[in-house]
Structure 1
């Protein structure tokens, strides 16, 4: 049994009872390996009816932690947290490295095909980076895809010589050039 004095919450928070009629909602559990901001937003939206009960918000939040995050919670100093804002700040500081960096379409210009990489792998890598960007500009995406290729590669030449291609057509053309990569690697 855990000693109540080991709680990171002040006595007032620790001894707060659950509101009448409260039933445990389904919470997404946080293990320490995902976006902490997203977890806090989900928690806030789930607990919207109880947001004015700061102590209760603190106590229930700890039930959403699992694994590494639950271990982190147990390392917090005894009686060091007075309210949910403090808990949110400490939580965010601890797990801020998991927050996604907002990127623009221009980020795709940094995705370049390595000389040893197959076209198939380059397309997979490019698509993965594109998926991380909301609202991509199609012209920038298509141009950055082409510019990530070596200039001597037939696909690059095909994309330069082709009329204004859309990204889907660029991917289809890339599949056709997979054979060129295989022939080059066997030399």
Structure 2
């Protein structure tokens, strides 16, 4: 359900995925689209002039234009540079903060992501030492290493 506060591009994308088998039926797509709109967006939809929309593409473009201010803006890569493990913070908390920020960045920067995560760890942290001795090559490997160290931390 679109509440008027989330990313309209993501909403249209999810709608298109749900309706994939009907994507060639423009009339049906246009008729079903409002069923996923909350009160704010429904007021916008009801305010569209009769005959002002000629296709599903026009409908989604008008929708995106109206709710553009809610679009998610990807964070810049340098957002990761300011993250580091705080005094007394657990690896679990730090890695969750870091990976949440990572998920808000568009692009493929595995090498930088891995390095900035490692640099954000205290110098004497076991995971940092481990990543220095045996570097990982992608974020999936990094997450595996983090999970191993989190389990050790939780067992202590």
Common fold by TM > 0.5: yes
Question: CA offset at residue 125 of structure 1?
Answer: 0.4
Give 2:139's aligned residue: none
- Residue matched to 1:24: none
Structure having the larger proportion of residues in helix: 2
Q: 1:86 & 1:162 partners in 2: Cα distance?
A: 53
Contact 2:127 2:149 in 1 (8 A): no
Q: 1:164 to 1:135 in 2, by over 3 A?
A: farther
Task: Give SS of 1:118's match.
Answer: coil
Using the size of structure 2 for normalisation, the TM-score is 0.60
Deviation of 1:138 after TM superposition, in Å, equals 4.3
- Normalised by the length of structure 1, the TM-score is 0.53
Residue in 1 that maps onto 2:35: 63
SS in 1 for 2:24: helix
1:159 is aligned to 2:129: yes
Candidates 89, 112, 117, aligned match of 2:83: 112
Deviation at 1:91? 0.7
Show structure 1 runs of 5+ residues with no match. 1-28, 179-187
**Take 1:80 and 1:103, find their aligned partners in 2: how far apart are those partners?**
39
Task: Evaluate the alpha carbon distance shift between residue 33 and residue 68 of structure 1 in structure 2; reply closer, same or farther with a 3 A threshold.
Answer: same
SS of corresponding position for 1:127: helix
Aligned partner of 1:96 in structure 2 is 68
Number of aligned positions between the proteins: 143
Give ranges in structure 2 of 5+ residues lacking alignment: 137-141
Partner of 2:145: 169
In the other structure, the counterpart of 1:50 is 25
CA deviation string 1:52-92 (max 9, x = no partner): x4xx6444322231233223334x35447232344322210
CA RMSD across the alignment: 3.9
Greater Rg over alpha carbons, structure: 1
Structure 2 vs 1, CA of residues 69 and 158 (structure 1 numbering), >3 Å: closer, same or farther? Answer: same
Give matches, 1:32-51, under 5 Å: 32-41=4-13, 42-43=15-16, 45-51=20-26
